[in-house]
Structure 1
Amino acid sequence: MVWFFGVGARAFVVALFGAVVVLFGVLRFVLAMVGVVARVKVKVKIDITNGFGIWLF
């Protein structure tokens, strides 16, 4: 138990921090991809309503 609070706790905190950083990285990537997809969909929808279809895309 003493070992856990010595080395183990530090390793746990480092692992937890690493996991959080990775999670935020993945989340940012997913949000960026969703934003791109949403923008493309909106752009295509606007193009279709304007009667240009895919020309502006």
Structure 2
Amino acid sequence: MLYGIHAVLPSMLSRSTGHIINIASVAGPEVSKTSIVSCRYFAICKLGELMRKLQKWIT
């Protein structure tokens, strides 16, 4: 996911337009003792939120 964002973000910024769609597992919200899926789900969701908040300062 980070490699994909890194690849497309410069061209999106130069054009001042574009969308990044984050796809997370439906099993992500379910927390269990050994669930790495929950960690990835949380990271994907939080990265999306962070990018939306930083969009004001990037553009």
Q: TM-score, normalised by structure 1?
A: 0.40
Q: TM-score, normalised by structure 2?
A: 0.38
Relative contact order (C-alpha < 8 Å, sep 6+): which is higher?
A: 2
